[in-house]
Amino acid sequence: MHEAQWKGVAEEIQRLKTKPEYNVNGEIKWRFFGADNQDPRNTVRHLSQEKRFEFRKDFLDILLRRNSIKVISCVASVAASYEHSSVRTEDDLYGYTYKTVTERFQYFLQDMSRTVGAEQLGIVVADHRDKNQDAKLRYVHHDIIESEGPFTSKYRNFIETIFLTPSHLSVGIQFADMVAGAIGRKFNSGDNTFYDIVEPLFRKSSSGRIEGFGLCKFPNRTWR
């Protein structure tokens, strides 16, 4: 999301949440929309399933109305990943998935720089987890962007470190959670309902191809 879009998106979300038919107050998470989710912290618990569906679609439509907003994602096959010689722990799996996403983000920034004729820079904002997990992700991030190996991407368009914040304080993270939920639902349950809605947002090749550009798989060759 370009920084020029951020404020308008945040304001539109607030207007949506305060509509009388929704009256939502607080964070938006994909898991809150499950029919059986009665978590006291669930901000859409008071809505019927029909209204939850409508709200979720209206929420994603805020992104769809902005052509400059793009989705870059990676779907990891857990079973295939642990057959990979370099994946031994959850942290390894998380790190390789993160690397795949950030590489495509770097390519996206390079493409944008060529399109507008000026260098385009980007930052990564991620969901805060716990102290140890955050520290590990910072290490992974810096290990990736500072690598100078002959077979690694050069992250010349990244601005310094990864920024970690609780999801309830970040509009971007809440949108990422909702898009990830739609993608996960497709690959875990075969339900394309919301994936089909967000599909126009994916980064694409010049020929319109999504896979490998806005939707990547890890490990690519043995994914199943």
Q: How many CB atoms lie within 10 A of CB 40?
A: 5
100 close to 218: Cβ distance less than 8 angstroms: yes
Query: Could you give the number of structural domains in the chain?
Result: 2
Same domain, 126 and 16: no
Q: What average pLDDT does range 199-207 have in this prediction?
A: 96
Same domain, 50 and 92: no
Same domain, 35 and 119: no
Is 36 part of a structural domain of the chain? Answer: yes
Residue 108 sits in which domain range? Answer: 73-218
What pLDDT does 38 receive?
87
What pLDDT does 151 receive?
57
What pLDDT does 154 receive?
84
Which pLDDT band holds residue 100 (cuts at 50, 70, 90)? very high
21 close to 57: Cβ distance less than 8 angstroms: no
pLDDT digits (tens, 9 = 90+) for 161-197: 899 999 999 999 999 999 999 999 999 999 999 999 9
Percentage of the chain beyond pLDDT 70 is 98
Six-digit token string for 138:
């910072």
Distance CA 224, CA 209 (A): 20
What pLDDT does 150 receive?
60
Same domain, 60 and 155: no
44 close to 52: Cβ distance less than 8 angstroms: yes
* Final residue in a domain of this structure, among 29, 64, 99: 64
What is the length of the chain? 224
pLDDT digits (tens, 9 = 90+) for 110-169: 999 999 999 999 999 999 999 999 999 999 999 988 877 665 668 999 998 899 999 999
What pLDDT does 152 receive?
61
Is 224 part of a structural domain of the chain? Answer: no
Is 109 part of a structural domain of the chain? Answer: yes
Task: Report the candidate in 121, 98, 100 with the shortest Cα–Cα distance to residue 109.
Answer: 121
* Final residue in a domain of this structure, among 64, 90, 108: 64
Q: Which amino acid is at 91?
A: D
Is 130 part of a structural domain of the chain? Answer: yes
Distance CA 206, CA 220 (A): 21
Is 153 part of a structural domain of the chain? Answer: yes
Task: Report the candidate in 112, 94, 74, 76 with the shortest Cα–Cα distance to residue 213.
Answer: 74
Same domain, 119 and 99: yes
